[in-house]
């Protein structure tokens, strides 16, 4: 920016030769440049400096501090409620496994599976009888579902290939790949033993063509534990599916229990000694959160728009007065990334709070969506605290390092990702059939990422023993090369990239060398916030850029 004054002096000289400007033009133009420079310096001040410069209270700063408190309180409140709901669902799923799977143990290793025809029939009859005798067996508040005054039946459906003929002894088979489905239903209150049940059902399985047997049942219950936390209990419908999976036709039929939950408000309820006061307080608190976030959203959007407008003015001003183009990095300085983060956080919080109000009033049951919105918003709010730590010099160098290193880190990660994906696909194809950690592509990625961080190395090597010699030898070459490449080279280069950026920023701060045209231009303004030079209510709408101003 050393040539800025010669440029300014040359422009009035040219105008005097042309006869278009008076001698006072240079004074007016210099004053305009200083005013615009002072305006830029004020724009990049922190809230405390702006308060000393113009006496304007830092409303956005105070609002962000308030948001941190109320959003965190809201998240904790919803997190406790969500935890009770998830725990209730998981414990009921474990209950269903113990009730309907014969001989099920919590500590069972591997999947629950059957290997003989007699076991399959025996387990099916066992499930049906347990379902019919459920009120006399369970210690929970489980009940059958009723629709139009009738109980919802247990449905048993088998899927099998159509017109199949398989003879492994003669090495012949004939299969129609189309799949047929056959079902029957059993209503509650039908107390049948195994013998009468077999004669009543008249259900047979052709295991050579059988793909799966699915048993569907619906049970109802009420989550009463929320009463202790002053919340209205919800009613639950558990749609349970018990599947006997024979798709592999390997002689092993896997058995699994899955459930789909519907949560809704109970029709008739009464909790002694309670009132709607707690519900109104929670709804009012959520409304306050929405109002605070909406106010913050408006203020931050206004600041972003003002920054973009000032950026365009600076670009035109710099080109007109100094005949230079403003670099893209300097133009992006006017777009405050922290405000963008706050805008995203406020949007997520408003959406999550609206969902939370719907859940509390029992109109919605999207617990997972609400938890994701509120959790992400709270994370962004706390990350935004770093902006205010940046007002202190020793903290600011860390923030500047992250911002400066980010583009290079992204480029470096894109290059490293190509090597990483190559190892992922190779490990999945070659080691997947022999190693549980490489069985699927997402498991491979998780395993390799753990190896980069030095986790679970020995167990990964150990699980490849007792395999074929060729696969074992390949696994050693694969694992040793990956660990050596990523830990000793890629990870070291990644750390060096950030360290080099840190040293560069530290050197610039110690020498106080402006690192951009924008900073050099603003640095020429020596007015301190307490000088009183910023005490003005007039904001120039635009700079006078005409040669004959």
Specify the pLDDT at position 362: 76
Residue 540 placed within a domain:
no
CB 357 within 8 A of CB 331: no
Residue 6 placed within a domain:
no
Residues 111 and 260 in one domain: yes
- Dihedral sign (CA 320, 324, 325, 330): negative
More confident residue, 15 or 69: 69
Query: Cα separation of 349 and 347, whole Å?
Result: 5
Residues 228 and 252 in one domain: yes
Residues 154 and 245 in one domain: yes
- pLDDT over 70 percentage in the chain: 83
Please give the average per-residue pLDDT across 464-491, as a whole number.
Answer: 86
- Residue where a domain stops, chosen among 273, 300, 330: 273
Q: Which residue range(s) make up the domain with 366?
A: 47-80+276-391
pLDDT tens per residue, range 497-541 = 888 888 887 777 666 655 677 777 777 777 777 676 766 644 444
With a cut of 50, say whether residue 1 has pLDDT above it: no
Residues 432 and 373 in one domain: no
Question: Strand locations in 274-396, DSSP E?
Answer: none
189: confidence class by pLDDT, cuts 50, 70, 90: low
More confident residue, 12 or 517: 517
Residue 325: which of 518, 543, 546 has the closest Cα?
518
With a cut of 50, say whether residue 11 has pLDDT above it: no
Helix (H) or strand (E) holding 210: strand 210-222
Residues 288 and 261 in one domain: no
Residues 213 and 239 in one domain: yes
Specify the pLDDT at position 471: 86
Please give the average per-residue pLDDT across 249-273, as a whole number.
Answer: 83
Residues 298 and 385 in one domain: yes
Average pLDDT in the chain: 81
Could you count the other beta carbons within 10 Å of the beta carbon of residue 284? 10
- pLDDT over 90 percentage in the chain: 29
378: exposed, middle or buried (Cβ count in 10 Å: 0-12, 13-18, 19+): buried
Residues 405 and 385 in one domain: no
Specify the pLDDT at position 271: 67
Query: Cα separation of 492 and 247, whole Å?
Result: 47
Query: Cα separation of 388 and 270, whole Å?
Result: 49
Query: What is the widest separation between alpha-carbon atoms in the chain?
Result: 117
More confident residue, 274 or 391: 391
- Strand, coil or helix: 152: coil
Residue 36 placed within a domain:
no
Query: Cα separation of 42 and 35, whole Å?
Result: 10
- Residue where a domain stops, chosen among 391, 409, 438: 391
With a cut of 60, say whether residue 225 has pLDDT above it: yes
pLDDT tens per residue, range 317-340 = 777 777 777 777 777 878 888 889
Helix (H) or strand (E) holding 279: helix 277-322
Most confidently predicted of 2-6, 218-222, 326-330, 403-407: 218-222
- Give pTM, 2 decimals: 0.75
With a cut of 60, say whether residue 272 has pLDDT above it: yes
Residues 456 and 505 in one domain: yes
Residues 281 and 386 in one domain: yes
Total structural domains within the chain: 3
Most confidently predicted of 275-284, 289-298, 462-471: 289-298
- Residue where a domain stops, chosen among 273, 300, 315: 273
Query: Cα separation of 271 and 68, whole Å?
Result: 34
441: confidence class by pLDDT, cuts 50, 70, 90: very high
Residues 224 and 177 in one domain: yes
Specify the pLDDT at position 146: 87
């Amino acid at each position: 920016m050393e040539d800025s004054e010669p440029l300014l002096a040359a422009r009035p000289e040219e105008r005097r030769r042309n006869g278009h400007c008076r001698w006072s033009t240079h004074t007016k133009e210099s004053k305009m440049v200083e005013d615009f420079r002072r305006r830029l310096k004020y724009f990049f001040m922190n809230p405390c400096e702006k308060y000393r410069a113009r006496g304007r209270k830092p409303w956005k700063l105070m609002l962000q501090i308030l948001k941190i408190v109320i959003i965190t309180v809201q998240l904790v409140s919803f997190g406790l409620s969500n935890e009770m709901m998830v725990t209730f669902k998981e414990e009921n799923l474990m209950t269903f496994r113990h009730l309907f799977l014969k001989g099920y143990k919590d500590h069972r290793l591997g999947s629950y599976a059957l290997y003989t025809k007699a076991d399959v029939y025996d387990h099916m009859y066992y499930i049906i009888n347990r379902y019919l005798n459920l009120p006399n067996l369970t210690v929970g508040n489980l009940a059958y579902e009723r629709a139009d005054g009738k109980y919802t039946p247990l449905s048993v459906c088998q899927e099998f290939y159509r017109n199949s003929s398989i003879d492994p002894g003669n090495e012949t088979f004939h299969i129609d790949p189309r799949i047929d489905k056959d079902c029957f239903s059993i209503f509650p209150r039908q107390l049948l033993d195994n013998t009468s049940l077999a004669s009543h059902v008249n259900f047979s399985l052709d295991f050579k063509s059988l793909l799966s047997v699915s048993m569907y049942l619906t049970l109802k219950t009420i989550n009463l534990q929320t009463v202790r936390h002053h919340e209205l209990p919800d009613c639950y419908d558990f749609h349970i599916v018990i599947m006997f999976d024979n798709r592999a036709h390997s002689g092993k039929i896997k058995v699994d229990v899955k459930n789909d939950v519907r949560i809704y408000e109970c029709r008739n309820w009464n909790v002694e000694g309670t009132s709607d006061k707690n519900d109104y307080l929670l709804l009012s608190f959520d409304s306050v959160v929405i109002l605070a976030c909406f106010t913050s959203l408006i203020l931050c959007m206004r600041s972003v728009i003002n920054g973009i407008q000032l950026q365009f003015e600076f670009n035109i001003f710099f080109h007109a007065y100094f005949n230079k183009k403003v670099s893209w990095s300097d133009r992006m300085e006017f777009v405050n990334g922290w405000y963008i983060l706050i805008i995203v956080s406020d949007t997520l919080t408003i959406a999550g709070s609206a969902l939370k109000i719907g859940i509390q009033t029992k109109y919605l049951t999207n617990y997972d969506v609400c938890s994701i919105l509120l959790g992400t918003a709270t994370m962004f709010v706390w990350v935004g605290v770093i902006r205010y730590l940046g007002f202190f010099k020793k903290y600011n160098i860390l923030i500047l390092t992250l911002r400066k290193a980010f583009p290079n880190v992204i480029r470096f990660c894109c290059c490293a990702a190509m090597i990483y994906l190559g190892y992922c696909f190779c490990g999945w194809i070659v080691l997947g059939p022999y190693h549980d950690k490489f069985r699927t592509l997402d498991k491979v990625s998780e395993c390799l990422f753990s190896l980069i961080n030095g986790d679970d190395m020995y167990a990964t090597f150990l699980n490849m023993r007792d395999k074929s010699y060729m696969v074992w030898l390949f696994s050693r070459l694969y694992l040793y090369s990956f660990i050596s490449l990523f830990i000793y080279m890629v990870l070291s280069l990644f750390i060096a990239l950030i360290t080099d950026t840190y040293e560069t920023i530290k050197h610039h701060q110690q020498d106080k060398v402006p690192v951009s045209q924008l900073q050099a231009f603003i640095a020429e303004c020596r007015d301190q916030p307490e000088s009183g030079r910023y005490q003005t209510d007039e904001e120039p709408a635009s700079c006078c850029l005409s040669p004959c101003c």
